[in-house]
Structure formats: structure tokens, C-alpha cells
Amino acid sequence: DQQVKQNSPSLSVQEGRISILNCDYTNSMFDYFLWYKKYPAEGPTFLISISSIKDKNEDGRFTVFLNKSAKHLSLHIVPSQPGDSAVYFCAASKAGNTPLVFGKGTRLSVIA
Amino acid sequence: GAVVSQHPSRVICKSGTSVKIECRSLDFQATTMFWYRQFPKQSLMLMATSNEGSKATYEQGVEKDKFLINHASLTLSTLTVTSAHPEDSSFYICSASLAGGSRLFFGEGSRLTVL
């Protein structure tokens, strides 16, 4: 049973436009959500996170929105840049030092 | 942020041999480290939770006798793939978090290819 779902395996966006990556989860016990960016043959790097007590967190060009009632979160990147091209993983965890549960990832391609 | 280093980044071995992958927390102590595996175009799947000074906790379907985990110190966890087979070829990634934190810091990953 996949608890974290990223239903779009890939996304192509023009440079300068907005990229929106979506993520759904099923476990209502999750209370902390993260987005990681991953280049081929490298470990994931942390991008941005959000706690369940918030519905929005912004960091520069990256904004994460959380809709708890819909069990849905999204990552907005604006403006998108070619260097943003990577695989983006959505992850979730429960309270405490518990391991993260990852989605399958969405490959973002930003076209110049 | 905290730094996690993994070694080797790439290893090719013959079928039947054993391979050891090291994961170190460079600037913090990690009582718990997590080992993930990623097959091509798949998600990061948790293999096991490594606890310093005690036995690792393995996820369902992961053979503990095949994937030996040793967390001998607060800065080092090792994963040994014993009697490796081609189906063990994958990208193995370790991670750790700061005490009480939920954000995971990942190593660079180790790509294992078993011929």
C-alpha cells in the first residue's frame, strides 16, 4: 500500500513559468512533509518542508502548500530554471524520529 | 545542515562476493541511521533502521542475513551485501537525522553493480 503518491512521473515546463508538483498521502498520522530534489547517481538533497500545523511555507522560488483535509500537498517553483531539472520526491513522516516514506518521484524538465 | 558521507560511491563486483558500504555522519552524532534502496525509476524504499549499539530493524521483505548492518559508533553505520547477486544491483543510500528531528540528511549514495 503506497502511503505517499506522486501520480505524475514526469513534467515539462518552459523556463520562467511555474512548475507545480503534486503529492497525495493516505496516512492521517503523517504530520511533517518534505520535498527532496535528486540528480542522477546522487543522494537526495533537502529542498523545503512543512509541518501539519501550517498550510504554506515559502523559501525563495519554492513554496509548499498543504491541504490536510484533502491529504494533498504541492510544490510550486516560480520562476522555473533549467537547473531545476531533476527528480523531485515528496516524503512524509510521523512524529518523532521515524523514517521518511517517499513517493515515487516526479521528473521535472525545465526547457530553455 | 548536517553532512552525511557515504563510501564507495560506485562499486562493481562479481556475483557471490560481499560488498561493504560505509555511511558516516561528519559533523553530528547519529544514534539512528536509515538505509534506503532505489531501483531505476522507483521510489526510495526503506530497507532498515540502524541503531547505534543494537540490532538493526529490517523492513518486511528485506533479508537481514543478506544485508548486514552494523552501527558500531555514533558516526558510522555499515551495510554489507553478502553473496551479492545481479538482482542486488541498485542504488543504496544512507541517511541520518539530528536528534529529535524529522529532516533526513542523505549520503551521496552508492551504486552497486553485480556482474
User: Could you give the percent of chain A with pLDDT greater than 70?
Assistant: 97
What is the arithmetic mean of pLDDT over B47-67? 91
Distance (Å, whole) CA B18 – CA A94: 35
Give the model confidence (pLDDT) of A14-53 as tens digits. 999 999 999 999 999 999 999 999 998 788 888 999 999 9
- Minimal C-alpha gap between A96 and chain B (Å): 6
User: Could you give the percent of chain B with pLDDT greater than 70?
Assistant: 96
Strand runs labelled E in chain A: 4-5, 10-14, 19-25, 32-38, 45-51, 56-59, 62-67, 72-77, 86-93, 101-102, 106-111
Q: Could you tell me which residue, A65 or A100, shows the higher pLDDT?
A: A65
Short-list A2, A105, A33, CA closest to B103: A33
Short-list A22, A10, A37, CA closest to A71: A22
What is the arithmetic mean of pLDDT over A73-98? 91
Residue A74 has pLDDT above 70, yes or no: yes
- Minimal C-alpha gap between A83 and chain B (Å): 19
Kindly determine whether residue A9 and residue B41, on different chains, have CB atoms separated by under 8 Å: yes
Q: Answer whether A98 touches B (CB < 8 Å).
A: yes
Chain centroid to CA B110: how far? Answer: 9
Give the model confidence (pLDDT) of B84-108 as tens digits. 999 999 999 999 887 767 678 889 8
B86: preceding bond cis by omega (within 30 degrees): no
Q: Answer whether A9 touches B (CB < 8 Å).
A: yes
Kindly determine whether residue A98 and residue B102, on different chains, have CB atoms separated by under 8 Å: yes
> Within 13 Å and on the Cβ side, how many CA atoms surround A62?
14
Q: Could you tell me which residue, B35 or A98, shows the higher pLDDT?
A: B35
What local confidence, expressed as pLDDT, does residue B1 receive?
A: 63
Beta carbons of A66 and A73 less than 8 angstroms apart: yes
Confidence of residue A100 (pLDDT cuts 50, 70, 90): confident
DSSP secondary structure of B27-53: SS--SEEEEEEE-TTS-EEEEEEEETT
Kindly determine whether residue B111 and residue A105, on different chains, have CB atoms separated by under 8 Å: no
- What Rg, from alpha-carbon coordinates, does chain A have? 13
- Minimal C-alpha gap between A80 and chain B (Å): 23
